[in-house]
Structure formats: C-alpha cells, structure tokens
Amino acid sequence: MHKADLGPVTLPVARHDTFDPPPELALWRQEAPIRRMTYADGHIGWLVTSHSAVRAVLADNRFSSRVEAQHPALPHMVSQRAIPLPAGFFLRMDPPDHTRLRRLLTGQFTVRRMRQLEPRIEKIVAGRLDEMERQGAPADLVSAFALPIPSLVICELLGVPYADHDRFQHDSAVIVSREESEQNKLTAVADLLSFLNELVLSKRAKPTDDLLGGLAESDELTDEEITGIALLLLVAGHETTANMIALGTYALLRNPSQLAALRADPSLAPGAAEELLRYLSIIDFTVRGALEDVEIEGQTIKAGETVTLSVPAANRDPERFERADDFDVTRQAGGHLSFGHGIHQCLGQQLARNEMRIAIPALFERLPGLRLAVPEEEVPMRSDMAIYGVHRLPVAW
C-alpha cells in the first residue's frame, strides 16, 4: 500500500502518561512519517512526525507561517481563527516582513544583554527560594517559583513594570488555553494590547534602557508594531519557560537516578536542560501552509495544503536519538526541535536556557529534601493547554 493511502488521522494531544507523547505518534512515525490528517474544520492536510521531515519542512521557506490567513480553522493554537494578528506579531509572518522585524529584534537580544541578565536571574531565583523558605512547606512550585521567575525576567528585559504581572499573566494564560472561548481570548488580547500600547507610548516619550525602550528609539517601527512585538515576547517568553521549569522539576523528582546524577555533577546542568527540552517537548506542534507544491522525502505536499509538525514525535525519533524514549541527563540532546528550526527558530532560546540552567539546580541545592506533597495522580497536568506542563506542583521539603 502506498503511504498516502493510509487513512487520515486526527492529531492526538492528550498525554496518557505524564511525560510521554500520545503513543499513536510513534506508530505513525514508523508507518508513514508524512501522512494525511483531518483538521478541526474537516479539511485534510498533513501530519509530519519524523525528525528529518519536521526539520526539512521548518527549514523550507516554501512553507508559510501565515497559516491562519490560508485556512481559517486549523487546530486551535495561539493567534489563530478569531484572533486577528496584531501588527508586529512576526511569529506568524513570512519574509520579507518577518526578516525586517526579526533583524531589528536580533539587535536587541544581544549576547551582552543576555549576559547582563544572568546575575539578575540568579538574584530573582534566590529571592523566590528565600520566599519559599519563609512561607514554609508545602508550596505550589508553579505559583511560588516556576511562573514568577520567567515573569520577572521578561518584565526586566522588556521594561514592563512587574506590578502589572497579574494582569498579563491572566491574559496570556487565557490566550494559550485550549478551553477558553474565542470571545474570552479576544478580550484578553485586546486588554494586553491596550496595556502594552500605553507602555510603548510612554517609552516613546521618555526612552528607557530596556528592550522596549530600545525598540521605541527606532523610527523603523510603528507604535502598533512595537506593541505587537511586546505582546509576542511577553506571551512567548513566560508560559513556555515556566512550564519547562515546573515540568522539568517534576520529571527529575520522578527519575531519582537522573536527579542524583545532576546533583553529583553540576556541570551536567546545561546538558540536563537540553535533555529536558527534548524529552518533555512542551510545544505539541506548529503549523505551516505550503505556498507551492513541495516534495519532502518523496511525498508531494500541494500548494495550499496545511502541514502540522509534531515536535514531541520528532524529538522522540529513534532514527535521530538513541533510546529516544529514555530520559538521560548525560546524553547529547542537541539537535532537538523544541525551539523550532529555520527562520522562526525561537528568539528567546538563550534566555530560556539560562533560566532553566540557573533555576533548576538552585532549587535542588537550596531545598535538598524537595519532594511531591501529593500522590502522583493528584498532580493536575496541562492536557487542556497548547503548552504542556503542570497546572500546579504541590511540593514539600
């Protein structure tokens, strides 16, 4: 039977096991790594599950990121369907618009600025640990540690007053939820945009020494574009990293031999962060639309067709990673696709890595007796969100 003759599937996202991707994905990757998939609106496109094919699609600019303009009802994710994209939201733009904005942003994400942030991250992490010790056990690791760290860091980087974090944390949680109504998502986007727009205007009037202040000095960008960029950075920058810190901690607690290895040799921290990114693959998928007929590994994807790229399936591909389903902090996990690949590869990856490398080891060092405070089955998993993780992680020490 020709591979394309296999019936279309729908994308499973619910993880039955806490850390492993839905088991169908491994089967399909073996059977036909590029196969037909039925989307929520009933149209048929493609699902890609092997590491090589996911990477090939992401590297190929004949696939567009402006998917919401081509197919109004793709699987539900940030910035699609009823949510009109704000100006400046370059995650969903193609060259040359994407190139112009990305270049301006790369100029702000400098090695120097990232280095300057490191001692600030260390201070922020220590501050949260002080607070946890002061309050005493038990605690919810998400609200006490994993979420405030990236929130504080992104506020500092952008120059957003942290006093406003309740507002944007609530709004961005609504935006990335799979369960919220479209009306609620629209309201959340509008609220965040109006908050950020005021901030941008104040920075235009009085320049500040932060990333938004830097963008506000540019006359190449409109106020709306800077506001949209700020929205993208705020939403992309803290839910993702927060979930990696919380789910990463949970994965280490559930794998005591890996935790022991990391504790015995702190130089493993960077590799452990990389392996957590690969093993946990918290972004379930990303979507592209073919602008012309493209052949990928012998399969023709026709112009206008939608392609869903399964990041968890690619990161567990045994052709790319030996013992791909094992969590091993000593492995070379580089080459995973958790930050994407190609022109849209995550702009904040260095920052996210730094936060993980600093926060996770500091947590286990300060609270060596850290353990779950509830039975495993009572940990609420984020199966309802586009970014996987834990809603809460009750811990004691």
Q: For ligand HEM, which residue of 67, 121, 147, 244 counts as binding (CB under 6 A)?
A: 244
| Least gap, CB of 309 to ligand HEM (angstroms) | 8
Nearer to ligand HEM, 26 or 211 (CB): 211
Q: Which of 85, 236, 296, 390 binds ligand HEM (CB under 6 A)?
A: 236
Q: How far is the CB of 113 from ligand HEM (least distance, A)?
A: 11
Q: How far is the CB of 150 from ligand HEM (least distance, A)?
A: 6
Indicate which single residue of 48, 352, 358, 393 sits in contact with ligand HEM (rule: CB under 6 A). Answer: 352
327 binds ligand HEM (CB under 6 A): no
Nearer to ligand HEM, 75 or 340 (CB): 340
**Residues 216, 249: contact at Cβ < 8 Å?**
no
Question: Is 49 or 241 the residue whose CB approaches ligand HEM more closely?
Answer: 241
Kindly determine how many residues on this chain lie close enough to bind ligand HEM according to the rule CB under 6 A: 23
CA distance 28 to 9: 9
Site membership for ligand HEM, residue 340 (CB under 6 A):
yes
Task: State how beta strands 306-310 and 44-48 pair.
Answer: parallel
Q: Is 102 in the site for ligand HEM (CB under 6 A)?
A: yes
Task: Please state, in angstroms and as integers, the Cα–Cα distance from residue 117 to each residue in 40, 124, 168, 335, following that order.
Answer: 42, 10, 21, 25
Give the nearest distance from C-beta 353 to ligand HEM in angstroms.
Answer: 8
- Does 289 participate in binding ligand HEM (rule CB under 6 A)? no
Taking the complex as a whole, the smallest distance from the CB of residue 352 to ligand HEM amounts, in Å, to 4
Token output for 256:
């005591």
Here's the x/- map for ligand HEM, 153-192, by CB under 6 A: it reads as: -x--------------------------------------
Q: Are 87 and 222 in contact (CB under 8 A)?
A: yes
Per CB under 6 A, which of residues 78..97 are in contact with ligand HEM?
90-91
The site map against ligand HEM for 42-81 (x = CB under 6 A) is ----------------------------------------
Nearer to ligand HEM by Cβ, of 26 and 282: the residue is 282
In the stretch 140-159, what mask flags binding to ligand HEM with x, by CB under 6 A? Answer: --------------x-----
Which residue do the tokens 């392609």 mark?
A: 307
Binder of ligand HEM out of 64, 240, 306, 310 (CB under 6 A): 240
Q: Which residues bind ligand HEM (CB under 6 A)?
A: 90-91, 102, 154, 232-233, 236-237, 240-241, 244, 282-283, 286, 338-340, 344, 346-348, 351-352
